[in-house]
Chains A and B, each alone.
Chain A
């Protein structure tokens, strides 16, 4: 059985890994210009969203 301290350390490490991975993904997505692709969609009425098809 893991002690509470070991569990807490593992948890902190996984938190850190999630946050680092998130930041790296955001950076990569930003470099790919992903924000521009959904900007193009977001400034027009989305026919699917409003139920037009």
Chain B
């Protein structure tokens, strides 16, 4: 599924040959995952990039009206990225963080790396808060208030952090365009080092970027609690075997944390449950919960 999604969102394969970007009308549309629009194969826009661009005023904001903090605040309020925020709220409001679990190319890449045989670790729990700081500081505040000499902001997350951008955009463009390659400096070195670190960590930790750093995950996460489609568990039938929690890529205690902001809605817990009591609930989905007789039978077998 993730491979298909990666191919569909990056279907302009000709770009890898020519080193040029797709410039067709589909780039008016964002995908619900991190997908760098400077990737030569990218067909759609990146929502985190779009948020920053709109806030920074790179397109549309009248930069002559931004002299001084108050004028800047007024300018920002009139050019809030409503389309992108609305789009992300809609996706999160319907399926929560499922886009992270099912269609994110960079999440998929981390999953593939984690299949390399090696010792596996969970990492400190408090690292998860870093992504909220990144969302607020690098996606909203810095693009709005850290202005360049032309009084415009810049996409700080893309510039200083985004490893997906380095992998999908930076490295291919550097390889395909010699004139750009010759101009690369410390920033490229920093971003490539950060990407390398995250890829190495992915071998030992499951989805370290998604769990600790991704601002899109920080946006979707809180919407897990209110999303239209949710995970449900038949708590009475649960035999507490721990199979679901062991399989969870973000190390949740699944029976007790189904609506947790960290849940990627990947449904691996559902597949791991030996008695099939985890299900998706929502409009049009039939919940196949166990009957009382089935529950009693399981109790007898497990006592």
Using a CB–CB distance below 8 Å, which chain A residues touch chain B? 11, 14-15, 18-19, 21-30, 32-46, 48-53
- Chain B residues near A46: list those with CB within 8 A: 36-38, 49, 155, 158, 165, 169
Q: Tell me whether B197 is interfacial, beta carbon within 8 Å.
A: no
A40 to chain B, nearest CB (A): 5
The complex places the Cα of A28 from the Cα of B79 at a distance, in Å, of 11
**Complex alpha-carbon distance, A35 and B188, angstroms:** 28
Q: Could you tell me if B86 and A36 are in contact, using CB atoms closer than 8 angstroms? A: no
In contact, B58 and A19 (Cβ under 8 angstroms) = no
Q: Are the C-beta atoms of B83 and A32 separated by less than 8 Å? A: yes
Q: Which residues of B contact A36 (CB under 8 A)?
A: 28, 59-60
Residues on A with beta carbons closer than 8 Å to the beta carbon of B177: 45
In the complex, which residue of chain A has the Cβ closest to the Cβ of B60? A37
State whether A41 touches B37 (Cβ < 8 A).
yes
**Chain A's interface: helix, strand, loop or mixed, by majority?**
helix
CB distance from A17 to the nearest CB of B (A): 8
In the complex, what residues of A have CB within 8 A of residue B29's CB?
35
Count of inter-chain pairs, beta carbons less than 8 A: 163
B93 A19 Cβ-Cβ under 8 A: yes
Looking at chain B's contact residues, the main secondary structure is helix
B183 near A34 (CB under 8 angstroms)? Answer: no
Please indicate the chain A residues that have their CB under 8 angstroms from the CB of B136 in the complex. Answer: none
In the assembly, what is the distance between CA of A51 and CA of B192, in Å?
9
Within the complex, the shortest CB–CB distance from B181 to chain A, in Å, comes to 10
Are the CB atoms of A34 and B89 closer together than 8 Å? no
A24 CB, min distance to chain B CBs, angstroms: 7
Chain A residues whose C-beta falls within 8 Å of the C-beta of B45 in the assembled complex: 38-39, 41-42
A22, A28, A40: residue with the most chain B Cβ atoms closer than 10 Å: A22
Q: Are A44 and B21 in contact (CB under 8 A)?
A: yes
B90: Cβ under 8 A from any A Cβ: yes
**Extra A-B contacts (5), CB below 8 Å, given A41-B49, A42-B42:** A18-B93, A25-B83, A37-B58, A49-B165, A49-B169
